Amino acid sequence: MFSYLIRRLISAVVLLLIVSAVTFGIFFLLPKLAGQTTDQLAQQYIGKAPTPADIAAVKKNLGLDKPVFEQYWDFLKGIFAGVDYKFGPEAAKCHVPCFGYSFKTHIEVWPEIQNRLPVTLSLAAGAAVLWVVSGVATGVLSALRPGSFFDRMAMTVALAGVSLPMFFTGALALALFTYQWPVFERSDYVPLLQDPFLWARTLVLPWVTLAFLYSALYARLTRAGMLETLSEDYIRTARAKGLRERTVVVRHGLRAALTPIITVFGMDLGLLLGGALITEQVFSLKGVGAFAVEAINANDLPNILGVTLLAAFFIVICNLVVDVLYAAVDPRVRLS
Amino acid sequence: MTDSSEDRAGAQATPAATEAPGKAPRGAAFLDVRDLKVHFPTDDGLVKSVDGLTFSLEKGRTLGIVGESGSGKSVTSLAVMGLHRASRRQRSKVAMSGEIWLDGKELVAADPDEVRRLRGREMAMIFQDPLSALHPFYSVGNQIVEAYRVHHDVDRKTARRRAIEMLDRVGIPQPDKRVDDHPHQFSGGMRQRAMIAMALVNNPELLIADEPTTALDVTVQAQILDLIRDLQKEFGSAVIIITHDLGVVAELADDLLVMYGGRCVERGPAEKVFSAPRHPYTWGLLGSMPRIDRDQTDRLIPVKGSPPSLINVPSGCAFNPRCPYADLPEDNLTRTVRPELRESGGGHFSACHLPQEERERIWTEEIAPRL
């Protein structure tokens, strides 16, 4: 188990390095290949009407005149060690982890993301709990009585959940529960530690709508998995031991049916932690997703790069956790 | 073995009617199955997997149930265990009638939860493929511990000691280490040994082995059969061994029950059924069995045709479409009237319209010399 963990950890680090190199390449190498000059790049940092002297200074300060590989190396170094920029008379310190400065606001990228992270984390975590619990429970109940009224109802609702886009269900939820019947008033995000009740109240609608979208898929996955495992021989063995039906279903059936769900869950959660773009837009939440949208709209390269790397980081970490969980659940995995 | 007041075609099971006069009402033998019927309604029609089966078994004895796939032998054993409802979906649909008496308790009409409490404790079962029958995610020891603790209020440590003891008893080397292994780390034979350890952990009085050696290497098969025999002697339990392999029952069984199309066509003491079989289907089974003492140039004689559909069982004798002697009885009897089980002496029963003497003659003159 321990060597398995080490192997997984190393491959996760390698993967992150590759992702960062590719992302960096996309943002700094591709434009260059397409004909963008370093002057134009430097100009974006300065804003309107720069003098040639300004451009030359920025190029030198940001190292834009260096080869791309060296810039990438500096970028990596900045993440782990921070960077000292010398802008004219003032020295600017970009703190660890340094993803550079925004083109537009000249604020460090990381603290900006850091501010928005709690919103995204709260949104993703709350919704994840909701959709896993509701999806798996629905799936199990459906699988126990396939073809029953409950099963058909649940699967119809699940189909709706999978098919209806967020900007429809989200808007509908807002229209009904915020404007028609103001059960959940519109308010800005309140930190959990400041007021847990307000925190939850602000997030209930986005949680539910987001969970609806995902739990539909989980219900279907769980149902299919349970139907398959419940017909396995080892389920018959479990019954032959004289175990209670509930024990048979949960300890023997669900445990085996859960493994593919863990995989999908890791992916979904990882993606969501990188920012729920549409949900945050619909509910005006200022999370990482909204930050990414702003950055893309403003063509703010350093911000986009930072958000992209963060999203990649979450996906890799979630997959690492999934791999470890998988090995803990299914001992056969550790062999390979 | 019980006597022959059975197999009245189409008769619905009523407890009083199925009992012969003078027999104890609560199941005379340790296991007493009377007029058992298990029918599964499907979209294509009613599948009569078991259709009026009667047999009994005493402690310390082994009953072999043989038949082709689809003859109802596995469903019979699952019905005894109360496991014939494969899923909850079928629970409402499957129709089971008749009586199953286990040690004085009737199981067909019993509360499912009561039957569940007997499962694993008084009756246990081992299955064909031990790899798929063991849960891949739990260690072997864990699964034995679970089987023990369902029926015994003991802590994990005690149960674990018991699991190691059982693994040792079924011949697994270094049981205190292997107890924490997972099924995929065991060889095929060891897995079946572990299954047996799990089945016997509660000292059940009835052990049902459903094709216990079919999925195993030939070299391992004999070991497993020896193990089952030794354990039976030690624990004195009743054993039902279900197989399509006559070699297996020849080795183990005291009594033999031959099933065809959900019914019993012949049953009796094993040596009688082997030395003087009384049913054409049994002849066919014996003829299709490879034997080491037979001349190599002789070809095996397969039973012609395929097993009957359990939805449209042939009228009359279910075996008539495949029976080479179907035309011998007069009045087209084989195709219209279902033959009753009749005793030919010494607890040996068979269901065939041919007169006893005629069958004896065919066996001794035509069949036996060819085997």
User: pLDDT tens, B272-290?
Assistant: 999 999 999 999 888 887 7
Q: State whether A239 and B87 contact (CB < 8 Å).
A: no
Residues 101 to 160 of B: which have CB under 8 A from any A CB?
A: 116-121, 124-125, 127, 129, 132-137, 139, 146-147, 150-151
Comparing CB atoms, the residue among A237, A243, A329 nearest residue B137 is: A329
B71-109 per-position pLDDT tens digit: 888 899 999 999 887 544 444 578 899 999 999 899 999
- For residues A71 and A302, the answer to whether their CB atoms sit within 8 Å is no
Shortest distance between the Cα of B77 and any Cα of chain A, in A, equals 11
B176-188 per-position pLDDT tens digit: 999 999 999 999 9
SS3 readout for chain A:
CHHHHHHHHHHHHHHHHHHHHHHHHHHHHHHHHCCCCHHHHHHHHHCCCCCHHHHHHHHHHHCCCCCHHHHHHHHHHHHHHCEEEEECCEEEEECCCCCCECCCCCCEHHHHHHHHHHHHHHHHHHHHHHHHHHHHHHHHHHHHCCCCHHHHHHHHHHHHHHHCCHHHHHHHHHHHHHHHCCCCCCCCCCCCCCCHHHHHHHHHHHHHHHHHHHHHHHHHHHHHHHHHHHCCHHHHHHHHCCCCHHHHHHHHHHHHHHHHHHHHHHHHHHHHHCCCHHHHHHCCCCCHHHHHHHHHHCCCHHHHHHHHHHHHHHHHHHHHHHHHHHHHHCHHHHHC
For β-strands B31-42 and B45-57, DSSP reports them as antiparallel
Comparing A223-237, A274-288, A291-305, B20-34, the range with the smallest average pLDDT is B20-34
3-state secondary structure of B370: helix
Give the percent of chain B with pLDDT over 90. Answer: 52
Minimal-distance CA residue of chain B relative to A239: B83
- For residues A198 and A171, the answer to whether their CB atoms sit within 8 Å is no
Considering the domain architecture, whether residues A126 and A244 belong to the same structural domain is answered as yes
Q: State whether B147 and A241 contact (CB < 8 Å).
A: yes
DSSP assignment of B76-89: HHHHHHT----SHH
B110-142 per-position pLDDT tens digit: 998 999 999 999 999 999 899 999 999 999 999
Q: Does A246 touch chain B (CB under 8 A)?
A: no
Which of A67-81, B93-107, B195-209, B334-348 has maximum average pLDDT? B195-209
Considering the domain architecture, whether residues A68 and A136 belong to the same structural domain is answered as no
B47-70 per-position pLDDT tens digit: 888 999 999 999 999 999 998 888
Minimal-distance CA residue of chain B relative to A227: B87
Residue A212 domain flag: yes
Six-digit token pair at B196? 């047996």
Comparing A71-75, A83-87, A276-280, B326-330, the range with the smallest average pLDDT is A83-87
**Residue B234: HSE in the Cβ half-sphere, 13 Å Cα cutoff:** 11
Six-digit token pair at A30? 């591709």
Q: State whether A144 and B86 contact (CB < 8 Å).
A: no
Tell me which of A232, A234, A235, A329 to substitute to probe the interface with B (most B C-beta atoms closer than 10 Å). Answer: A234
What's the Cα-to-Cα distance from A9 to each of A15, A76, A274, B189, B227, rounded to whole Å? 10, 19, 20, 38, 47
- For residues B33 and B56, the answer to whether their CB atoms sit within 8 Å is yes
3-state secondary structure of B53: strand
Residues of A in contact with B81 (CB under 8 A): 240
Shortest distance between the Cα of A227 and any Cα of chain B, in A, equals 10
pLDDT for A102 beyond 90: no
Q: State whether A241 and B146 contact (CB < 8 Å).
A: yes
Considering the domain architecture, whether residues A23 and A151 belong to the same structural domain is answered as no
What's the pLDDT score for residue B88? 46
Considering the domain architecture, whether residues A295 and A165 belong to the same structural domain is answered as yes
pLDDT for B295 beyond 50: yes
Residue A214 domain flag: yes
Shortest distance between the Cα of B89 and any Cα of chain A, in A, equals 6
Residue A102 domain flag: no
Mean predicted confidence (pLDDT) in A75-82: 87
- CA dist B126 and B129 (Å) reads 9
- CA dist A160 and A170 (Å) reads 14
What's the pLDDT score for residue A87? 62
Dihedrals phi, psi of A135, to nearest 5 degrees:
-65, -50
**Domain boundary, last residue among A35, A67, A94:** A94
Residue B122: closest CA among B7, B204, B43: B204
- CA dist B166 and B194 (Å) reads 8
Tell me which of B43, B91, B137, B196 to substitute to probe the interface with A (most A C-beta atoms closer than 10 Å). Answer: B137
- For residues B353 and B335, the answer to whether their CB atoms sit within 8 Å is no
What's the pLDDT score for residue B99? 92
Dihedrals phi, psi of B340, to nearest 5 degrees:
-85, 155
Any idea where the domains of chain B sit in the sequence?
Answer: 279-370
Six-digit token pair at A224? 């299919």
Six-digit token pair at A101? 């400065």
Considering the domain architecture, whether residues A119 and A73 belong to the same structural domain is answered as no
Considering the domain architecture, whether residues A152 and A26 belong to the same structural domain is answered as no
What's the pLDDT score for residue B4? 44
Mean predicted confidence (pLDDT) in B343-369: 90
Q: State whether A238 and B135 contact (CB < 8 Å).
A: yes
Considering the domain architecture, whether residues A84 and A171 belong to the same structural domain is answered as no
Residue A104 domain flag: no
Full residue range of the structural domain in which residue A179 is found? 112-335
What's the pLDDT score for residue B296? 61
The ipTM of this complex is 0.85
Considering the domain architecture, whether residues A266 and A211 belong to the same structural domain is answered as yes
Residue A100 domain flag: no
> A173 or A59, which is more confident?
A173
Considering the domain architecture, whether residues A138 and A232 belong to the same structural domain is answered as yes
What's the pLDDT score for residue A276? 86
Residue A180 CA from chain centroid, whole number: 32
**Residue A248: HSE in the Cβ half-sphere, 13 Å Cα cutoff:** 23
Cis peptide before B204 (omega within 30 of 0): no
**Domain boundary, last residue among A67, A94, A121:** A94
pLDDT for B193 beyond 80: yes
Helical (H) or strand (E) element with B140: helix B140-151
Burial class (CB in 10 A: 0-12, 13-18, 19+), A85: middle
Task: For residue B119, give the DSSP letter.
Answer: B
- CA dist A87 and A56 (Å) reads 12
Residue B265: closest CA among B319, B326, B311, B211: B319
A48-61 per-position pLDDT tens digit: 777 888 888 878 77
Considering the domain architecture, whether residues A17 and A84 belong to the same structural domain is answered as yes
Six-digit token pair at A244? 């209670």
CB count in 10 Å sphere of residue B191: 23
- CA dist B204 and B238 (Å) reads 9
Mean predicted confidence (pLDDT) in A149-176: 90
3-state secondary structure of B5: coil
Considering the domain architecture, whether residues A195 and A146 belong to the same structural domain is answered as yes
Q: State whether A236 and B83 contact (CB < 8 Å).
A: yes
- CA dist A250 and B294 (Å) reads 53
